Structures are given as structure tokens and as C-alpha cells.
Amino acid sequence: MCHLRLVSDGWAEAPETSRRKAVELARQALNATSDDPGVLVNAAFVLARFGEDIGAMTGLVDRALALNPSFARGWILSGYVRLYAGESDLAIEHVENSLRLNPRERMGAPLTLIGEAYFFQRRFGEAASKLLLSIQDNPGHPLAYRTLAACYAHMGRLDEARDVVERLRAITPLVVPNANYLRNPEQRELFLSGLRLAAGEAT
């Protein structure tokens, strides 16, 4: 999970090395145990992010939640895997399950996930409100800034989009990431085109 964050947040000195290490450790963890819900969801999240078969990774998180249906963190990570699979409705449902199980959860990550799901549903105003709250709770998470900038760009609010990108650049040099983890090509292009527009890059 640490190697994944280094890559996705743009902080890895050698991103490809960190990516390989993340995948290797996730596979080792799965080989070590097949019935630990925490291991299953962490490994599935990492492997889904780095391009493993999304159906197989959904199966892993489903197995984890069958083993422990009250595993709040498992529901959040399941939400992310569903989002990567292009299932935004299910992603929202899973994060809401998590918040019912753990109402004291810090809201940054859940709000980012809900904001992303709304973004992919083209509910840009609702997405932006969730992402602004997420940034307020967790101002150091690049993904919320990226999605908010893309939101504003698609809403035609380019000055605000560029302001968000400037705030993002204070956190990470990686403004437009590799988004191949998003398996739905239309959703991936929606995200990247908005972010490129916000960053002033050619689309």
C-alpha cells in the first residue's frame, strides 16, 4: 500500500520500481494467506490499481467481505475496486456501507471516492461539493485535487480549475497521472481530458 501511494501520489523516486515492488508484495501476501480479509482487500486494491484482471480482483474483495461483512475498511477498498471497474453506482453503495459500519471514519477518503463516482456520472456540481469537503478533511491527498480540477474544467470554470491545479502542484509534481487503472475508456478520457484542460496541456 505504501508503494502504491508513492506511485499514485507522484512521490516515488523510481515509479516503475515502486510499482513492481507493490505488485510483488501483494502477490506474496496472497500466497501467504487466503482467508485474511485485510490481506485480501489490500492486495486486490494494489493489483487492481496496477492492471491485474479486474474481475479477479473484484472476486478477492467479495471473498474478503464474505469472510467479514462488518469490515468497514474492506467496503471502502471494495468501492475503489468497483470504481476502477467502471461501476460507479456500486462504488457509492459500498462506501456508504463502510460509513454505516464506522461512522467515525475520517471523511477524506470516502468523500473523494463518492466525488469521483459522481464525476464519472457527470454530476459535476455534486462531485465538486464532495471533493471540496474531502480536501478540507485531508488537504494532502492529490487525487481529490485532480478530480476537482477536472470537474471544474468540464463545468467551464477554468479559472477555478487552474487554481486547483496550482494547489495540486504544491503537493506533487505529478498533475496528469497514468489513468489506466480506470477500465472504462470513456470515464478515463473524461478524467484525463478535464485534467489536461485544467493544467493547460494539449488534449
Considering 85, 105, 125, which residue would you say is the last residue of a domain?
105
Q: Are residues 101 and 1 in the same domain?
A: yes
Over the stretch 66-75, which tens digit does the pLDDT of each residue have? 999 999 999 9
Q: What is the pLDDT of residue 203?
A: 47
Radius of gyration for the alpha carbons in the chain, expressed in angstroms and rounded: 16
Query: Do 117 and 195 belong to one domain?
Result: yes
For residues 71 and 48, state if they share a domain: yes
**CATH number for the domain harbouring residue 116:** 1.25.40.10
Which domain-ending residue is among 105, 136, 155? Answer: 105
Tell me which residue has cell 510499482: 19
pLDDT confidence bin for 89, thresholds 50/70/90: very high
Model pLDDT for residues 149-190, shown as the tens digit of each residue: 999 999 999 999 999 999 999 999 999 999 999 999 999 999
Q: What nine digits make up the cell of 107?
A: 471523511
Q: Which three cell numbers stand for residue 101?
A: 459500519
Task: Using the predicted structure, report yes or no on whether residue 34 has a pLDDT greater than 90.
Answer: no
> Residue 202: pLDDT above 80?
no
Residues 143 and 160 placed together within one structural domain of the fold: yes
Question: Are the C-beta atoms of 94 and 110 separated by less than 8 Å?
Answer: no
Using the predicted structure, report yes or no on whether residue 201 has a pLDDT greater than 80. no
The answer on 155 and 124 residing in a single domain is yes
Rounded to whole angstroms, how far apart are CA atoms 26 and 73?
A: 17
Angle, in degrees to the nearest 10, between helices 158-169 and 142-154: 160
Query: Domain span at residue 192?
Result: 107-203
Same domain, 50 and 69: yes
Supply the pLDDT for residue 106. 85
Domain total for the chain?
2
Query: Do both 28 and 118 map to the same domain?
Result: no
For 106-125, how does the pLDDT look when each residue is reduced to its tens digit (9 = 90+)?
889 999 999 999 999 999 99
> Are both 60 and 26 inside the same structural domain?
yes
